[in-house]
C-alpha cells in the first residue's frame, strides 16, 4: 500500500484521504441476546503510551456512564482490549487474550461484554468479528467517543463495529479525568498532542492504523495540562506518533510548533517537568534544540528512533535521513545541553540488510552511547511496502543480530547508569518501594531511583545523590537528609 507521504491540505482532508487507504468496514453484525447494563470495567492496554493514554480517556468517559474500573477481567461486565498492531507478535496477543476470555466465559457461564479497541481493531476489525465470536464490539482509535452508542447497540443484542475516521474530533467528546482518577494514575501523566503519521516508513503500519498526522488545538492542550497540574500532576509527557511534527492551531491565530507548545506549557504553575515522545530525526529543528537549552523544565533526555545505522537501509526504509543527520542532531543536542542522554528504537533484519550494514548499526550505537533503547526483529506487516520485499532476512539471522545488538545496547545502558553514580539529580517521587519507608522516584533519564526514608512524599520533587546503580534501578540519598534520631541530641546542639 503506497500513498503520497507529503499530503497537502487541512488535517480533516488528510484524515479523509488516509481513511481511503485504510480498510474501513462499517455496519453492524446481527446478533440476538439480552444483556444487563454492565457496571464494572476492565481495560487492558497493549503497545505504546498512546494506548495507555487512550485507555484512560475511555475509562474517564465510561465513568460518566456509571462504569467503575476493576483490575480483574473476571469481575468485569465490560472488558476492553486496547490493542497494538505494530509487530506480528503484538497483534497475535489479542487473539490469545480473546481465547482466554472465551474459555473463562464457558467455564463460569457468565457473559461479559468484550470490546476490541486500538490498532488491531482498526486494521482487522471485520476479521476479528469473524474469527472471534466472543467479541461484541470493535472500535478503532478515532471513534472512542462513540463507545456509549456502540455499547447501547450491544445491549440491544447487536454486534457493533466502528473503524471509521470520523470528521468530528474524539477529543472534543472525551471528558477530562476526575480528581480521583488522576491521583490514582500518579504525578507523571501522558498528554496526547498529535496523532497519526505522514512519514510512511516502509515497515510501519501506523499511517494506516492511526491515519494522517493531526495536531490537537493548542488551547485544548493547555486547558488539559492546567487541569492535570491542578489535580497534582507534576510531570507531563507529550505524546504523538510523530510528536515533533506538531503544528497546532493556537488562540493567537498562529500555528504553534512543538517548541512553542513547550514554552507555553512551561508557564503552567505546578508542571515541573516536560518530556515528549516519539520524535522523527527529520523534525528535530533548531528551535526544538534551543528549547532544550532554555527550558529547565524540559528533561535532558530524548527518545529519537534511528532504526538503522546504514544509509542504504535507512533509504530503503524511507526514513528520509541518513546516519550523518542523526550524528549531527546528537552533537547539536549535546552542545545545547551537555547533560543530554539519548534513547532510540532499532530494527534488525530489515529486508536486504547485509552483515556489513548491520555492523554499521552496531557502530552507530558505540559512537553515540545510549542511556536506553528498544530493539526489534523486523516483522513484515500486511499492507506495508517492505512486507512484499523479496529479500526477507531469515529468522535465525534476525535472532542472532538482535542478540548482538541488545548486548551492545545493554553495555551502553550499564555504562550510562554507572556514570550516574555520584551525580546529584532531582527525582519525582511516584510510588512506594518494596520495603517500609522506601519511595521510588524517576530521574531526569526515567531511571527508577529508590530512596530510603525520603523527607518528601509521592508527587514531590527531591534532590538526591546517586549512590549505586543496580540492573533495574538506582539508589539515591537525599542531599539534605533529616537529622537521624541517633544524631547528636538536641541539648548538645543547643550547647
Q: Is 340 exposed, middle or buried (0-12, 13-18, 19+ CB in 10 A)?
A: buried
Binding mask 294-333 for ligand 5AD (x = CB under 6 A): -----------x-x--------------------------
The item of ligand 5AD, ligand SF4, none sharing an interface with residue 401, based on CB under 5 to 8 Å by kind, is none
The item of ligand 5AD, ligand SF4, none sharing an interface with residue 199, based on CB under 5 to 8 Å by kind, is ligand SF4
Q: Which of 381, 398, 413, 442 binds ligand 5AD (CB under 6 A)?
A: 381
Shortest distance in whole angstroms from residue 318 CB to ligand SF4: 8
The item of ligand SF4, ligand 5AD, none sharing an interface with residue 441, based on CB under 5 to 8 Å by kind, is none
Stretch that binds ligand 5AD, among 50-58, 225-233, 376-384, 408-416 (CB under 6 A): 376-384
Binding mask 83-102 for ligand 5AD (x = CB under 6 A): ---xx---------------
Shortest distance in whole angstroms from residue 364 CB to ligand SF4: 17
Shortest distance in whole angstroms from residue 373 CB to ligand SF4: 15
Tally of CA atoms within 13 A in the half-sphere of 455 that contains its CB: 10
Cell of 158: 447487536
- Per-residue burial over 378-392, b = 16 or more CB atoms within 10 Å of its CB, e = otherwise: bbebeebbbbebeeb
- Full DSSP string of 50-97: HHHHHHHHHHHHHHHTT-EE-S-GGG-SEEEEEE--SSHHHHHHHHHH
**Residue 96 phi, psi (nearest 5):** -70, -40
Residues of the shown chain interacting with ligand SF4 in the complex, contacts defined by CB under 6 A = 197, 199-201, 204, 206-207, 241-242, 280
Alpha carbon separation from 68 to 61, 65, 74, 143, 319 (Å, rounded): 11, 9, 14, 21, 43
The verdict on 122 binding ligand 5AD (CB under 6 A) reads: no
The item of ligand SF4, ligand 5AD, none sharing an interface with residue 379, based on CB under 5 to 8 Å by kind, is ligand 5AD
Tally of CA atoms within 13 A in the half-sphere of 116 that contains its CB: 33
Between CA 264 and CA 306 the distance in angstroms is 28
Residue closer to ligand SF4 (CB basis): 278 or 297:
278
Residues that bind ligand 5AD (CB under 6 A): 86-87, 203-204, 305, 307, 345, 347, 376, 378-379, 381
Amino acid at each position: 500500500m503506497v500513498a503520497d507521504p507529503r499530503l497537502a491540505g487541512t488535517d480533516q482532508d488528510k484524515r479523509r484521504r488516509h481513511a481511503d487507504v485504510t480498510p474501513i468496514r462499517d455496519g453492524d453484525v446481527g446478533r440476538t441476546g439480552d444483556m444487563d447494563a454492565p457496571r464494572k470495567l476492565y481495560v487492558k492496554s497493549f503497545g505504546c503510551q498512546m494506548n495507555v493514554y487512550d485507555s484512560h480517556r475511555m475509562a474517564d468517559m465510561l465513568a460518566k456512564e456509571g462504569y467503575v474500573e476493576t483490575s480483574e477481567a473476571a469481575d468485569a461486565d465490560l472488558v476492553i482490549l486496547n490493542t497494538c498492531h505494530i509487530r506480528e507478535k503484538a497483534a497475535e496477543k489479542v487473539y490469545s487474550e480473546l481465547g482466554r476470555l472465551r474459555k473463562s466465559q464457558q467455564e463460569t457461564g457468565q457473559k461479559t461484554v468484550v470490546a476490541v479497541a486500538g490498532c488491531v481493531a482498526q486494521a482487522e476489525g471485520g476479521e476479528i468479528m469473524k474469527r472471534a465470536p466472543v467479541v461484541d464490539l470493535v472500535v478503532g482509535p478515532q471513534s472512542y467517543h462513540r463507545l456509549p452508542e456502540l455499547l447501547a447497540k450491544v445491549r440491544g443484542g447487536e454486534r457493533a463495529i466502528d473503524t471509521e475516521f470520523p470528521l468530528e474530533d474524539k477529543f472534543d467528546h472525551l471528558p477530562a479525568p476526575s480528581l480521583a482518577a488522576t491521583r490514582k494514575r500518579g504525578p507523571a501523566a501522558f498528554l496526547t498532542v498529535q496523532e497519526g503519521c505522514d512519514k510512511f516508513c516502509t515497515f510501519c503500519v501506523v499511517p494506516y492504523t492511526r491515519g494522517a498526522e493531526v495536531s490537537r488545538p493548542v488551547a485544548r492542550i493547555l486547558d488539559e495540562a492546567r487541569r492535570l497540574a491542578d489535580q497534582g500532576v507534576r510531570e507531563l509527557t507529550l505524546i504523538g506518533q510523530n510528536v515533533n511534527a506538531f503544528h497546532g492551531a493556537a488562540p493567537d491565530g498562529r500555528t504553534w510548533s512543538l517548541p512553542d507548545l513547550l514554552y507555553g506549557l512551561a508557564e503552567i504553575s505546578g508542571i515541573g517537568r516536560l518530556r515528549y515522545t516519539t520524535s522523527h530525526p527529520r523534525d528535530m529543528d533548531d528551535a526544538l534544540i534551543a528549547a532544550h537549552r532554555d527550558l529547565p523544565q524540559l528533561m535532558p533526555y530524548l527518545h529519537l528512533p534511528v532504526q538503522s545505522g546504514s544509509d542504504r537501509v535507512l533509504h530503503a526504509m524511507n526514513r528520509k535521513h541518513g546516519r550523518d543527520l542523526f550524528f549531527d542532531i546528537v552533537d547539536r543536542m549535546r552542545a545545547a545541553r551537555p547533560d543530554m542522554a539519548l534513547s532510540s528504537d532499532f530494527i534488525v533484519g530489515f529486508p536486504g540488510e547485509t552483515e556489513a550494514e548491520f555492523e554499521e548499526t552496531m557502530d552507530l550505537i558505540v559512537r553515540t552511547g545510549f542511556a536506553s533503547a528498544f530493539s526489534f526483529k523486523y516483522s513484515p506487516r500486511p499492507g506495508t511496502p517492505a512486507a512484499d520485499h523479496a529479500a526477507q532476512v531469515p529468522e535465525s539471522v534476525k535472532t542472532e543480530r538482535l542478540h548482538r545488538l541488545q548486548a551492545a545496547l545493554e553495555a551502553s545502558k550499564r555504562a550510562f547508569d554507572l556514570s550516574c553514580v555520584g551525580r546529584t539529580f532531582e527525582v519525582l517521587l511516584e510510588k512506594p518501594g518494596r520495603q517500609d519507608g522506601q519511595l521510588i522516584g524517576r530521574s531526569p533519564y526515567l531511571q527508577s531511583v529508590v530512596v530510603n526514608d525520603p523527607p518528601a512524599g509521592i508527587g514531590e520533587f527531591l534532590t538526591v545523590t546517586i549512590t549505586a546503580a543496580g540492573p533495574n534501578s538506582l539508589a539515591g540519598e537525599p542531599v539534605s537528609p533529616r537529622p537521624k534520631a541517633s544524631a547528636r541530641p538536641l541539648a548538645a546542639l543547643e550547647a
